[in-house]
Amino acid sequence: MRTDPLASVSIPVRLGILQRVLPVYRVPFFEALAEACPAGLGIFAGQPRPEEAIRTAKSLEKARLFPAQNRHYFQQKLYLCAQFGLVDWLDDWQPDVLILEANPRYLSTPSAVRWMQRRQRPVIGWGLGAPPASGAFSSLRKAARRRFLQQFDALLTYSQAGAAQYAALGYPEQRIFIAPNAVTPRPTTAPPLRPANRSRLTVLFSGRLQARKRVDALLQACARLPAGLQPRLVIIGDGPERPALQTLAQKIYPTAEFPGALYGEDLLPFLEQADLFVLPGTGGLAVQQAMGAALPVIVAEADGTQADLVRPDNGWLIPPADQAALTATLAEALSNLPRLRRMGIASYDRISDEINLEAMVAAFARAVACVLGGTDAYSTGG
């Protein structure tokens, strides 16, 4: 299991990527990967269910986007997805290497793997990991997952935790590659200069306002702090929970601010004015933006990728759905501004050195090189 150093890479084969959907936040990565693929990068992706509220990309500049016809079946643990038009796309694009999501709920995966194997072309699985099975029939489910993974020539995963889970199922460690789940490039400017003293600190949340983000817990935590520690709270984003959150804020924390959904240059001033970023629920990609702006973070543990981002030197990992832990950690963080400043620099360094788009592209290139038979399949530049 290997993390990858920052590198400029070239993948001189035609690459295909099969995605259920193409979220807008993933576009910068695929455009960066396309730059490393002079022979071409093609992406086959469809649309989510409306209730998923995922903003999807309509086009790409450097990669070619092919529309899939997604059909969704059932809900939650029974969810399945089939993508129609897949074989036609493979016939048209003719990828030399195919990367697809290592998710057994996607019914089109076997046909894609068979298409590639008939032509003796490698397939790479890309997934979060494989948490240990428990409960009834756990041994059967574990065996099924092991068989599912063995069809791939290599595996890409976001985190050390995901890599360890794949290895625990018997997948060869030398064919597991960690591609940090990045949405931002390596910073090109110095971290923002923040004052050494400030009478009232600013706590920032940014993300889609959904129940799973648990922004209500953040409002409650701020309201429970001693008056001298209560921060300026800025909640950036929009979504189905916004009206309820604003109503709650009026009752328990009326100074909370709701600027709406902001991106890019519009978001930057709020990142620079903040002292601490808090994500009390699931998610994580906004955390990287905050860290790139030299902010310490408080993050709820979820899928395992958070542990690679958040370490004791730059923030706090807290149990999910634990109001007491969130309130206590927030109080601890806001009580020591010099420590927050040191932790913010550690966040910036982590994004600069480890978790960025360049490192993610490098990991994909190494996985492709592996399945093609050696390091001569790609080049690394300084």
- Gap between the Cα atoms of 233 and 255, Å rounded: 7
Q: Which two tokens stand for residue 235?
A: 């909640």
Count of Cβ atoms closer than 10 Å to residue 348 Cβ: 20
Class of domain 8-183+356-381: alpha beta
- Gap between the Cα atoms of 240 and 237, Å rounded: 10
Name which of 318, 317, 316, 313 is nearest 341 in CA terms. 313
Beta bridge partners of 45: 67
Which pLDDT does position 305 carry in this prediction? 66
Listed in sequence order, the DSSP H helices in 203-356 are: 215-224, 242-252, 268-273, 285-292, 306-309, 323-334, 337-353
Domain 202-353, CATH: 3.40.50.2000
Q: Where in the chain is the domain with CATH 3.40.50.2000?
A: 8-183+356-381, 202-353
- Gap between the Cα atoms of 312 and 104, Å rounded: 35
DSSP string, 30-84: HHHHHHT-TT-EEEEEE---GGG---B-S--SSSEEEE-EEEEES-GGG-EEEEE
Q: Which residue has the tokens 């990287």?
A: 288
- Gap between the Cα atoms of 368 and 153, Å rounded: 10
Q: Which two tokens stand for residue 217?
A: 């817990």
Q: Which residue has the tokens 């030197």?
A: 313
- Return all residues near 207 (Cβ < 8 A) that are at least 6 apart: 213, 236, 237, 279, 283, 286
Which pLDDT does position 151 carry in this prediction? 96
- Gap between the Cα atoms of 152 and 145, Å rounded: 12
What value does the CA radius of gyration of the chain take, rounded to a whole number of Å?
A: 22
Q: Which residue has the tokens 């409650």?
A: 220
| pLDDT tens digits in sequence order for the chain, 382 residues long | 544 443 468 899 999 999 999 999 899 999 999 999 999 999 999 999 988 878 899 999 999 999 999 999 999 889 999 999 999 999 999 999 999 999 999 999 999 999 999 999 999 999 999 988 777 778 898 999 999 999 999 999 998 999 999 999 999 999 999 999 898 899 999 999 999 999 999 999 999 899 999 999 999 999 999 999 999 999 999 989 999 999 999 999 999 999 999 988 899 999 999 999 999 988 767 899 999 999 999 999 875 667 888 999 999 999 988 999 999 999 999 999 999 999 999 999 999 999 999 999 999 999 999 999 964 333 333 3
Which pLDDT does position 4 carry in this prediction? 42
- Gap between the Cα atoms of 34 and 212, Å rounded: 33
Pairing of strands 315-318, 379-381: unpaired
Report which DSSP code applies to 196.
S
- Torsion angle, CA of 364/369/375/379, rounded to 10 degrees? -60
Which pLDDT does position 374 carry in this prediction? 64
3-class DSSP state for residue 179? coil
Which pLDDT does position 5 carry in this prediction? 40
Which pLDDT does position 139 carry in this prediction? 87
